[in-house]
Copies of this chain bind each other. A is one copy, B any other.
Amino acid sequence: MQRSPEATRFVLVAGTTETARRDGLSAAGADPDLLSTTPAADAELLTYGRPVRTDTVPVSPSGCPTPALVTRAVRELVGFDLTVVDGGLAEPTGAPTVSVGAGVGRDIGEQDPVPTAYGAFEAARQFGRRLPTNELWLAETVPGGTTTALGVLRALGEDAMVSSSLPENPVERKRAAVSEGLEASSLAPGEAAGEPKRAVRRMGDPVLATLSGLATGALETDTPVTLAGGTQQLAVAALVRHTGYEGRLGLATTSYVADDPTADLRASAAGLGLDLTVTDPGFDASDHVGMARFVAGEAKEGVGMGGALALSDRAGVPMAEVRERFAGVYDDLLESDATDAEKSPASGGSG
């Protein structure tokens, strides 16, 4: 095997926002303490294929695993390079991480929920400028992140709606949280248009600040960027557009997000001028419990799942092989970890 600095590189930004502690916002709802571990666990799963410092594989009470297992399965098949950036982790991770100075995000209802946003954006931007790669795929894991994504979209004056890791999108709860946040930040909707760092500091989370900085830096140096994820990545795309960048930008997501009627991803992506790739993992062809939960509308996306599926598709890996590998990863981890899995409420990745 030869490794070239010009390969495809996946960057996973893993972090937290206390917004996830609000009732009923995330599939990771049962226990806020375990929820804050999900990004650290996702980073380990993608890096090593198993938990190292964390104890559990994030799985929802109904058995939906973190989408990190799908992305990991693809990584085992396709072999992309991986860099994890600390976008405000609350718990230690055994995955190696790059620091950009992002701290834990506070609740969206506070006046200044992401005080590290400016610094993290700029450090991530410098890192994105210099990171050697031919193409950059950006992924996220931040429970509660669709609510902060909605907050950023509203602050920028973008009318896109966000999806959910829950089968029933708690749209009203999200809107209420965003209204509370706008009031606390003394912002009218659209008032932060053209001011992406202000929007993400007042209404977002540290993962969004870091991702938009990384994308901006990479694009400034002509590295193609694909945002791997769902409606949280729409917020990243909006932040990048509000820096003034008008060039190409990709969004790669799953069919579960693209088909979610509570968000109109295709229209929003078109409105932001994104090159959209939607990939269906074909989980409805299986009766595997992990796949069935996705088909039922849980999780939908996260930890770069849609981007990973797009990469495997591009590499010519049959989707049946991805499903088989995912089932293998799931069975290995959750058979040996059945007791712990019962205790973990999080479904990882998307919020």
Contacts and interface: CB of A to CB of B under 8 A. Distances in A.
A127 B1 CA distance: 27
Nearest to A130: B52
A304 to B, nearest CB: 16
Nearest to A54: B130
A130 B5 contact: no
6 contacts: A3-B76, A5-B48, A50-B132, A94-B127, A96-B97, A97-B97
Contacts of A97: 96-98
Nearest to A49: B5
Contact of A50 (B1, B5, B52, B78): B5
Interface string A103-139: 0000000000000000000000011001110000000
A223 B78 CA distance: 27
Nearest to A2: B76
Contacts of A48: 5, 131-132
A230 B75 CA distance: 35
Contacts of A52: 127, 130-132
Interface of A: 1-5, 48-50, 52-53, 75-79, 83-85, 92, 94-99, 126-127, 130-132
Contacts of A83: 96
Contacts of A2: 76-77, 79
A96 B84 contact: yes
Given A3-B76, A85-B96, A96-B98, 15 more contacts: A1-B78, A1-B79, A3-B75, A3-B79, A4-B76, A5-B49, A50-B132, A52-B130, A53-B130, A94-B98, A94-B127, A94-B130, A94-B131, A95-B98, A97-B98
A132 B53 CA distance: 11
Contacts of A5: 48-50
Q: Which of A49, A53, A98 has the most CB of B within 10 A?
A: A98
